[in-house]
Amino acid sequence: MIYPGKPQQNGRHERMHGTLKAQTCAPPAATAAEQHWFEAFQEESNFERPHEALGQRPQTQFYSASPRPFCERLDDPCYEPHELVRRVRTSGEVRWRGGLIFISEAIVGEAVGISERHDGHWMIRFADVPFALIDRHTAKLTRFGPGRPPQPQSKRQRQPSPNCQRCIWTIVSDMFPLAQFWLWNGYVVMSAARSRYVSIKAPSSSLKLHPVGPVNSP
């Protein structure tokens, strides 16, 4: 899996799509004509074009038909009588305790089994693979195994708006870590460091600290 908008994470596949599009869809044509071009591309790619990863040989020299028959639709997995069977909806959710809980979009349309463990939590499995747990107290789902790695942050960080009230709070909290705050006539009043009183009008186009009381020298 790759992140949305990150085709460079799957470069070989995207490179093949670039060649396919150039040979079959440029310029666009009627469906019948494009289908003819797709079949010609398939013939060339499989039987004629050399592939560097295969020692400059075509793919057909390495292909062999699978001995397993192809089934259009597999039967649902078998679950134990004590398990609750739920079918995953198109949204990736299943119905649970009068509501919906998100399971996965990878198994949409499939049946999963939910069974209660000895500790009261509910385990979800697909066929023979247990993959998640439903907390009995919060009804939140926890997946087994490592999750998806965090997406790398962009080099261009979004600059906070000066009108952002949360940003103002962050700046003031960093400047005065031991300050106390309260509201007074639409102003945020701060008390810090030996009876220094300042007021902040938030949101504001700029952060301004106005003394409103006695300011003692440190």
Decide if 27 is inside a domain.
Answer: yes
Distance CA 122, CA 47 (A): 52
H or E segment to which residue 39 belongs: helix 31-43
Q: What is the mean pLDDT of the chain?
A: 75
Cβ atoms within 10 Å of 156's Cβ, excluding its own: 6
- For the chain, what is the domain count? 3
CB 106 within 8 A of CB 93: no
Decide if 206 is inside a domain.
Answer: yes
Decide if 103 is inside a domain.
Answer: yes
Residues 201 and 169 in one domain: yes
Decide if 8 is inside a domain.
Answer: no
Confidence at 181, pLDDT banded by 50, 70, 90: low
Cβ atoms within 10 Å of 88's Cβ, excluding its own: 20
pLDDT at 114: 94
Residue pLDDT, tens place only, 75-112: 899 999 999 999 999 999 999 988 899 988 888 999 99
pLDDT at 206: 45
Beta bridge partners of 192: 196
Decide if 54 is inside a domain.
Answer: yes
pTM over 0.75: no
CA-to-CA separations, 35 to 8, 28, 32, 42, 59, in angstroms, rounded: 28, 11, 5, 11, 21
Distance CA 155, CA 181 (A): 35
Distance CA 186, CA 205 (A): 16
Q: Are strands 129-134 and 99-102 parallel, antiparallel or unpaired?
A: unpaired
Decide if 42 is inside a domain.
Answer: yes
Residues 56 and 26 in one domain: yes
Decide if 71 is inside a domain.
Answer: no
Residue pLDDT, tens place only, 198-214: 444 444 444 444 444 44
Residues 133 and 173 in one domain: no
Query: What token pair was written down for 171?
Result: 């700046």
Residues 19 and 54 in one domain: yes
Single-letter amino acid, residue 8: Q
Decide if 120 is inside a domain.
Answer: yes
- Domain of 121 in residue numbering reads as 84-143
Confidence at 180, pLDDT banded by 50, 70, 90: low
